[in-house]
Structure 1
Amino acid sequence: MSLPPSILPGTLAAYPQPELTTPTGLTLRPWEAADAPAFLSAYDDPAIQQWHPRHPASEAQVLEWFALYRTNWTHERGASWAITRTGEVVGRIALGNFDLHAGIAGFAYWVLPVARGTGVAPSALSGVSTWAFASGFERLHLSHSTRNTPSCRAATKAGFPLEGTKRNEAPHADGRHDMHLHARIPSDSNPAV
């Protein structure tokens, strides 16, 4: 006898990827073609280059990534949102590697320099987490380099306690890094951000 899945296949893809709003005034929406220049220019930022080893090379490649994001939603593999404030893109948040049977998924995110230190990442993490838990996910996790202190603060502020260190886990431009693992489950508190 098999255990039933946490989320029945077809449940998420039965609807368009949701647009989410946070109590802090952020709108998280699916990426649009008009966002390609902002998305591409984000990877000119040294911090985003440092912590995200994959970089798009052109607006055409960004549009290919956007198409992949739509396909991932349709096939219930993941979702990627533009983080916007007053209509302007200020970051990206993605929830990927959906395991619908176990109810597990993992986060990735970046915030543009103009919005850093303003609570954008914790607010976006909290907003997507609220949607994900309401949709049936049972565990959400994220990893970041042990050298990426701002990401560690954002995760903790969003209610993702540090669970441990994954040694030599991820390649970066300056070599392999140990990665911190943070996770949140539905019974964890949802801190005000």
Structure 2
Amino acid sequence: MPPAPAIAPVVAAGAFACRPQPALAAGALRLRPWTPDDAPVLVRAFADPDIAFWNLEEPLTLARARELVAGFAARWAQERGAHWLVTETATGAVLGRVGLRCVSLAEGHAEAAYWTLPESRGRGAAHRGLAAVAGWALAEVGLGRVDLRHSARNPASCRVAGRAGFTYEGTHRHALRHADGWHDMHIHSLIAPDLDEWAFAGRRGGTSPRPSDQTRTGG
């Protein structure tokens, strides 16, 4: 029997590493790469009990935060991840973060993650930032799929996913252990064909513009 034909990678190696990580514009928001000076933002974020609990982290020292920020840059260079701070364009104020982890350019998929600082919740930063990053990954990088996984006990993340245009696909039972025990995980996805659906903006009552409309790169 002849060998099976090789499957070409979805995205060729070098799509990340050959260029600096871009900033993304999303309406009144600007998503920018982390810098070493942003380590105190991580310290402040993980002092919030909700962020620490859902992200499986203890409150951070400044030294540990600096290690994590350095890791964000390393994962971009290794083409394994991409991480942004979500900021107000007008003021530069930090509202939260959105990132892509478990990136596989060859297989064309990544997993999104986010958090919002306590004082910035309820302002749409999470779903608009998530839509911007996912739209960039699908429309500009050329990935085929972006996943979002969160605890079934965190309904706010379901709302964020829906407003960002993600589709709920199902539940992985007993899938991740938190400090209080095992949690079922909800699975949401955004795939490349979703960017062309006319109903994208109105899915589940959301008001986000389509990622392909709202996302552009910038300095």
After superposition, residues 144-183 of structure 1 pair within 5 angstroms as 144-183=150-189
1:100 has 2:100 as partner: no
- Correspondence 1:138 to 2:141: no
User: What are the Cα deviations for residues 112-138 of structure 1, in whole angstroms up to 9, with x where unaligned?
Assistant: 111111111110111011211121100
Instruction: Evaluate the alpha carbon distance shift between residue 140 and residue 63 of structure 1 in structure 2; reply closer, same or farther with a 3 A threshold.
Output: same
What amino acid sits opposite 1:125 in the alignment?
A: L
Aligned amino acid, residue 165 of structure 1: T
Larger CA Rg, structure 1 vs 2: 2
The Cα RMSD (Å) is 1.2
Q: 1:141 to 1:178 in 2, by over 3 A?
A: same
* Structure (1/2) with the larger helix percentage: 2
- Give yes or no for contact 1:56–1:62 (8 Å, CA) kept in 2: no
TM-score, structure 2 normalization: 0.84
Report the Cα offset of residue 187 of structure 1.
Answer: 1.2
**Structure-2 residue corresponding to 1:185:** 191
- 2:47 is matched with 44
Structure 1 CA distance, aligned partners of 2:38 and 2:107?
A: 33
Show structure 2 runs of 5+ residues with no match.
202-206, 209-219
- Which residue matches 2:29? 26
In the TM superposition, what whole-angstrom CA distance separates every residue of 1:72-112 from its partner, at most 9, and x where no partner exists? 00010001111111211111111011111110000111001
Q: Does 1:81 align with 2:87?
A: no
Percent of aligned pairs sharing the same letter = 43
1:3 and 2:7 equivalent? yes
Name the residue aligned to 1:15.
Answer: 19
- What runs of 5+ residues in structure 1 fail to find an aligned partner? none
Q: What residue number does 1:65 align with?
A: 68
